[in-house]
Structure 1
Amino acid sequence: MRNQSPEQLEGRLNAHRKLLVALAAFIADGAEGRAFVERLRRDAETVLDHEEDPGVEPNGSFATQQIADDELQSIVTAALLRVQAVGRQEQARGDAAPESEDR
């Protein structure tokens, strides 16, 4: 792959993130899929409570692991929020539709 500018890399990463959020929201639209996505949000991949002592100066793998876990949590949370927002919009339209028929 050719060398890309930081802007090009950022644009590509943003596109991947948008796609992942949309796919996770699609999966979370059903009860079984929502349970799966909720499990993803609950299950942290980072080391907690000194399960593994990184030492005085932790190496880059701990930082990378934390960044990856933060991004996964961010994507899953965005997907669940999107599902909730779509549900509220559909509910609002459903509530508004009968009133408009009476007019």
Structure 2
Amino acid sequence: MTIDNAVQLEGRINAHRRLLVELVSVVAAIPEARAALVSMARDSETVSDHEEDPGIEPDAAFAAQQIADDEIRAILKAAMARLETRI
């Protein structure tokens, strides 16, 4: 049985994400760390409209950065939710 490379990659990424969510939830139990993580969830590394002109059609770098920001927030949200279930 051969597993497609995309499926294998997706499985590995999902495993890394699950592990990262668990680790972040453990770290978030430390009050100082939790404050830093909440702050990180509020921040955005995506360039705002007024900071840089992406042109008529933003290039892939802008889209990739937005996807990364969204994923960071999703991981932090999942980690905080997991922490809340333990408190």
Is TM (by shorter chain) over 0.5? yes
Residue 35 of structure 2 aligns with an amino acid whose one-letter code is A
Equivalent residue for 1:9?
9
Whole-Å Cα distance in 1 between the matches of residues 29 and 52 of structure 2? 36
Bigger relative contact order (CA 8 A; separation at least 6): 2
Equivalent residue for 2:76?
76
Runs of at least 5 residues in structure 2 that lack an aligned partner in the other structure: none
Aligned-residue RMSD, C-alpha: 1.2
Whole-Å Cα distance in 2 between the matches of residues 85 and 50 of structure 1? 40
Identical positions, percent: 52
Runs of at least 5 residues in structure 1 that lack an aligned partner in the other structure: 88-103
Whole-Å Cα distance in 1 between the matches of residues 14 and 78 of structure 2? 13
Larger Rg: 1 or 2? Answer: 1
Equivalent residue for 1:90?
none
In the TM superposition, what are the counterparts of 1:1-103 in structure 2 within 5 Å?
A: 5-87=5-87
TM-score by length of 1: 0.76
Whole-Å Cα distance in 2 between the matches of residues 20 and 44 of structure 1? 20
Deviations 1:14-51 (A, max 9, x none): 01101111111011012111111111101111122432
Whole-Å Cα distance in 2 between the matches of residues 22 and 59 of structure 1? 34
Give the length in aligned residue pairs.
84
